[in-house]
């Protein structure tokens, strides 16, 4: 057993229950910790109240119960504590307009659900997290 | 007996009588009396033989002259005067026939005139009741006729229209109100080519508002020359609305389908990679089938979305100078694995000095991707696929050939229709949406190119498409394909 680094935690913002379940299952088997929200406002609330235990990455769907992905980005970028958390957008709608806006606001990646396997997304997450992460599967 | 003879007879009789009288009478006074009587007798005879018949003829002639062509001259003698009578009768008979003929013709003409007037009244009624605008222009382009519906649709009055040139009122516009170039004006095209032209465009009303129309301009040929044009046009605002709603519906439905599709794909992924527990061989096969089907559905949804985007006209066209050969090579690289798997041979060749061309590489990539994917799919293992790009006049022609199953002749006209799949390959290869070529054609059309195909069943197929060297104009829009 190698010395494991801190387990990655991801905040998942996805308003479809079935998809939430699939993502959670994958994270479980990939040893990634997760916290899920379907409401953008509730997620922001949670983040603001947990400055000491912020997630390592945010998985953001574009269409949420209450906010759009864009509004969410605006909100967290306003807050100094939250602005540096890397965000990946995983949505089923990727018009050039949306993609460009989100990336210019600081999103690291914009991925189409329909074109990406869960495994691919997890690989991307690890790439973004850099070399200081290993998993125990 | 002819006249000269008759007159000679009278004169000789007279002379004879005189001579006889002179022989028997010696008295001078009696002699004179006798000669006077003879002269008188001669005079009577002449009157009777010559003057009376002439006078009779004259009388009848006068009656005829007054208009009574039924009157005939009673001819009794067989001399020249009698002949005159016969001739005059003949003249009158012929005149009578001629007049009768003219009277008949006149009656026919009158009847025809009435028929025409009735037909015109019917046509007028039909034209007035057509729900479409109908206009006629002469060969100079001057408006010579229009129906009531034209006035209603365009807002111009009768006085406004007659005598005007067509391009003051019927000029075709694009949907933003800009005047289309002359080679896209149906009336110009019909006037110069002598061919019927149908198109969809916009017209402006008198008040300046724009509405979409379907227009057909049909030339009226006089021998080989265009005598005029008949234009029929129809307000298609409703149809366009329905079309837009249909496109929006496809877009909405497809987007909605994506969520459960994503769920299916992710859960089958988790099943297959053992997250829920290791599967046995049979279970893996079953789940693999689900995965394959959901992949197909994914492709279908993607194609439907692309089509609805193209049909809504909202696709962005972002042209840039592109080297088509490099573009194709990129696509071939993506398909390398498939080609190897099917042990097929792919050759690409091109003219040595192909210029770069201003097209949207994302859109044209789709075209090559689709044509090559089809070539690979519909050619048996070990087959041969060739790509050849060349320049011809002001076009760049791309060819994608294979020696595969080919396309039956009767399927060729329907090839580019939505959901159409050739009958021969549906049995061999069930995987396919039937939307690929529809999309390809839509992209080529909007790039100002043309696409066509040659094929022989069992031998192979070649798809050709042209792109103008002048490139594709940029188009601002809201979406791109596959987004």
pLDDT digits (tens, 9 = 90+) for B369-403: 999 999 998 898 999 999 999 998 889 999 999 99
Alpha-carbon distance B430 to B392, whole Å? 37
* pLDDT of the residue at B466: 93
b/e burial code for range B156-195 (CB count within 10 A of at least 16 → b): beeebbeebebeebbbbbeeeeeebeeeebbbbbbbeeee
Classify the phi-psi angles of B277: left when phi > 0, otherwise alpha if psi is within -120 to 50, otherwise beta.
left
pTM of the model: 0.61
Q: Is the pLDDT of residue B465 over 70?
A: yes
Q: Is the pLDDT of residue A2 over 60?
A: no
Asked if A97 has any chain B CB less than 8 Å from its own CB, the reply is yes
Q: Is the pLDDT of residue A1 over 80?
A: no
Q: Is the pLDDT of residue A3 over 50?
A: no
Per the CB < 8 Å rule, is B483 touching A16? no
* pLDDT of the residue at B52: 83
Per the CB < 8 Å rule, is B270 touching A96? no
- Closest-CA residue of B relative to A118 is B266
Mean pLDDT of A11-24: 94
CA dist B238 → B129, B171, B233 (Å): 20, 21, 14
Mean pLDDT of B154-180: 87
Q: Is the pLDDT of residue B29 over 60?
A: yes
- Closest-CA residue of B relative to A137 is B275
Q: In sequence order, what E strands does B244-328 have? A: 320-322
Please tell me which residue, B398 or B72, carries the higher pLDDT value. Answer: B398
Per the CB < 8 Å rule, is A22 touching B479? no
pLDDT band at residue B285 under the 50/70/90 scheme: very high
Provide the ipTM: 0.89
* Alpha helices in A35-68, H assignment, sequence order: 40-49
pLDDT band at residue A136 under the 50/70/90 scheme: very low
Task: Give the number of other Cβ atoms within 10 Å of residue B127's Cβ.
Answer: 16
Distance from CA of B139 to the nearest CA of A (A): 50
Among partner residues A23, A26, A96, which is closest to B483 by beta-carbon distance?
Answer: A96
* B131 within 8 A of B181, measured Cβ to Cβ: no
* B255 within 8 A of B304, measured Cβ to Cβ: no
Helix or strand (DSSP H, E) at B17: helix B3-24
Distance from CA of B348 to the nearest CA of A (A): 29
Helices B361-377 and B324-341, packing angle to 10 deg: 30
Per the CB < 8 Å rule, is A97 touching B259? no
* A30 within 8 A of A135, measured Cβ to Cβ: yes
User: Rounded to 5 degrees, what are φ and ψ at B16?
Assistant: -60, -50
* pLDDT of the residue at A42: 94
Mean pLDDT of B290-314: 85
Mean pLDDT of B176-183: 84
Highest mean pLDDT among A42-51, B29-38, B415-424: A42-51
Alpha-carbon distance B3 to A118, whole Å? 135
Per the CB < 8 Å rule, is A95 touching B483? yes
Please tell me which residue, B21 or B454, carries the higher pLDDT value. Answer: B454
Please tell me which residue, B181 or B465, carries the higher pLDDT value. Answer: B465
Query: Which one of B253, B258, B266, B312 makes the best mutation probe of the A interface by having the most chain A beta carbons within 10 Å?
Result: B266
User: Rounded to 5 degrees, what are φ and ψ at B387?
Assistant: -120, 130
Mean pLDDT of A2-19: 81
Please tell me which residue, A51 or B422, carries the higher pLDDT value. Answer: A51
Q: Is the pLDDT of residue A9 over 90?
A: yes
Mean pLDDT of B59-87: 81
Alpha-carbon distance B333 to B69, whole Å? 104
Residue B350 buriedness (CB in 10 A; 0-12 / 13-18 / 19+):
middle
* pLDDT of the residue at B402: 93
Alpha-carbon distance B11 to B322, whole Å? 124
pLDDT band at residue A135 under the 50/70/90 scheme: very low
* pLDDT of the residue at A72: 93
Asked if A92 has any chain B CB less than 8 Å from its own CB, the reply is yes
* Average pLDDT across chain B, whole number: 87
Distance from CA of A80 to the nearest CA of B (A): 32
* B31 within 8 A of B22, measured Cβ to Cβ: yes
Q: Is the pLDDT of residue B1 over 90?
A: no
| pLDDT tens string B215-247 | 999 998 888 888 899 999 999 999 888 888 888
Alpha-carbon distance B43 to B13, whole Å? 12
| pLDDT tens string B406-458 | 888 888 888 888 777 777 777 776 667 778 888 899 889 888 889 999 999 88
Lowest-pLDDT choice from A70-74, B83-87, B368-372: B83-87
Query: Which one of A59, A114, A121 makes the best mutation probe of the B interface by having the most chain B beta carbons within 10 Å?
Result: A114
Alpha-carbon distance B288 to B373, whole Å? 22
* pLDDT of the residue at B445: 86
* pLDDT of the residue at A137: 41
Mean pLDDT of A51-74: 91
Pairing of strands B460-468, B450-456: antiparallel
pLDDT band at residue A5 under the 50/70/90 scheme: low
Asked if A101 has any chain B CB less than 8 Å from its own CB, the reply is no
User: Closest Cα to residue A23, out of A64, A70, A60?
Assistant: A60
Distance from CA of A66 to the nearest CA of B (A): 18
* pLDDT of the residue at B25: 79
Task: Give the number of other Cβ atoms within 10 Å of residue B53's Cβ.
Answer: 22
Q: Is the pLDDT of residue A49 over 90?
A: yes
* pLDDT of the residue at B192: 84
b/e burial code for range B244-265 (CB count within 10 A of at least 16 → b): eeebeebbeebbebbbebbbbb
User: Rounded to 5 degrees, what are φ and ψ at A88?
Assistant: -115, 135
pLDDT band at residue B46 under the 50/70/90 scheme: confident
| pLDDT tens string A87-132 | 999 998 877 788 889 999 999 999 999 889 999 999 999 999 884 3
Q: Is the pLDDT of residue B121 over 90?
A: no
pLDDT band at residue B69 under the 50/70/90 scheme: confident
* pLDDT of the residue at B430: 66
Q: Is the pLDDT of residue A27 over 90?
A: yes
Percent of chain B whose pLDDT exceeds 70: 99
Distance from CA of A52 to the nearest CA of B (A): 32
Pairing of strands B320-322, A9-13: unpaired
Q: Is the pLDDT of residue B83 over 50?
A: yes
* pLDDT of the residue at B48: 83
Mean pLDDT of B328-351: 90
Asked if A114 has any chain B CB less than 8 Å from its own CB, the reply is yes
* pLDDT of the residue at A32: 93
Percent of chain B whose pLDDT exceeds 90: 28
Alpha-carbon distance B383 to B461, whole Å? 12
Helix or strand (DSSP H, E) at A58: strand A57-60
Chain CA centroid to CA A100, Å: 18
Q: Return the SS3 of B280.
A: coil
**Cβ-proximal residues to B110 (8 Å cutoff; 6+ apart), any chain:** none
């Amino acid at each position: 057993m190698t010395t494991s680094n801190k387990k990655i935690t991801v905040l998942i913002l996805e308003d479809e229950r079935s998809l939430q379940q699939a993502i959670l299952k994958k994270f479980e088997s990939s040893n990634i910790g997760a916290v899920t929200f379907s409401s953008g406002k509730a997620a922001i609330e949670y983040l603001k109240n947990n400055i000491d235990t912020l997630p390592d990455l945010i998985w953001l769907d574009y269409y949420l119960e209450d906010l759009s992905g864009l509004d969410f980005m605006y909100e967290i970028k306003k807050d100094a504590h939250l602005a540096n958390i890397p965000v990946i957008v995983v949505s089923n709608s990727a018009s050039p307009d949306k993609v460009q806006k989100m990336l210019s606001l600081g999103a690291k990646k914009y991925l189409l659900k329909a074109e990406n396997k869960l495994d691919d997304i997890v690989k991307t997450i690890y790439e973004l997290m850099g070399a200081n992460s290993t998993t125990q599967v | 007996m002819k006249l000269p003879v008759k007159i000679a007879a009278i004169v000789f009789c007279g002379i004879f009588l005189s001579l006889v009288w002179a022989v028997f009478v010696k008295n001078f006074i009696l002699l004179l009396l006798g000669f006077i009587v003879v002269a008188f007798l001669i005079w009577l005879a002449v009157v009777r033989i010559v003057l009376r018949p002439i006078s009779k003829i004259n009388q009848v002639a006068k009656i005829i002259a007054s208009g009574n062509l039924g009157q005939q001259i009673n001819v009794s003698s067989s001399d020249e005067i009698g002949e005159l009578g016969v001739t005059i009768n003949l003249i009158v008979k012929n005149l009578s026939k001629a007049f009768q003929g003219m009277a008949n013709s006149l009656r026919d003409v009158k009847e025809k005139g009435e028929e025409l007037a009735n037909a015109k009244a019917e046509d007028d009624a039909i034209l007035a009741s057509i729900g479409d605008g109908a206009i006629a222009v002469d060969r100079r382009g001057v408006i010579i006729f229009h129906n009531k519906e034209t006035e209603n649709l365009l807002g111009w009055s009768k006085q406004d229209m007659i005598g005007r040139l067509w391009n003051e009122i019927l000029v075709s516009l694009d949907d933003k109100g800009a005047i289309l170039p002359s080679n896209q004006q149906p009336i110009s095209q019909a006037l110069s080519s002598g061919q019927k032209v149908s198109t969809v465009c916009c017209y402006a009303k008198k008040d300046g508002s724009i509405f979409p129309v379907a227009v057909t301009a049909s030339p009226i040929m006089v021998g080989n020359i265009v005598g005029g044009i008949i234009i029929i046009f129809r307000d298609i605002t409703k149809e366009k609305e329905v079309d837009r709603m249909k496109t929006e519906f496809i877009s909405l439905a497809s987007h909605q389908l994506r969520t459960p599709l994503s769920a299916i794909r992710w859960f089958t992924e988790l099943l297959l990679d053992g997250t829920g527990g290791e599967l046995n061989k049979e279970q893996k096969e079953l789940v693999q089938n689900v995965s394959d089907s959901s992949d197909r559905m994914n492709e279908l949804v993607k194609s439907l979305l692309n089509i609805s985007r193209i049909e809504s006209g909202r696709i962005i066209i972002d042209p840039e100078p592109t080297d088509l050969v490099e573009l194709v090579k990129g696509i071939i690289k993506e398909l390398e694995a498939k080609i190897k798997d099917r042990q097929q041979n792919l050759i690409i060749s091109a003219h040595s000095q192909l210029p770069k061309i201003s097209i949207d590489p994302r859109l044209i990539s789709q075209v090559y991707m689709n044509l090559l994917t089809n070539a690979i799919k519909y050619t048996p293992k070990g087959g041969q696929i060739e790509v050849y790009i060349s320049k011809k006049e002001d076009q760049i022609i791309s060819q994608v050939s294979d020696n595969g199953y080919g396309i039956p002749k009767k399927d060729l006209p329907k090839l580019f229709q939505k959901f159409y799949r050739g009958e021969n390959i549906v049995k061999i290869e069930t995987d396919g949406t039937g939307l690929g070529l529809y999309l390809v054609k839509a992209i080529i059309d909007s790039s100002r190119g043309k696409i066509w195909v040659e094929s022989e069943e069992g031998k192979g197929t070649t798809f050709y498409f042209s792109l103008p060297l002048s490139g594709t104009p940029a188009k601002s829009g809201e979406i791109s394909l596959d987004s």
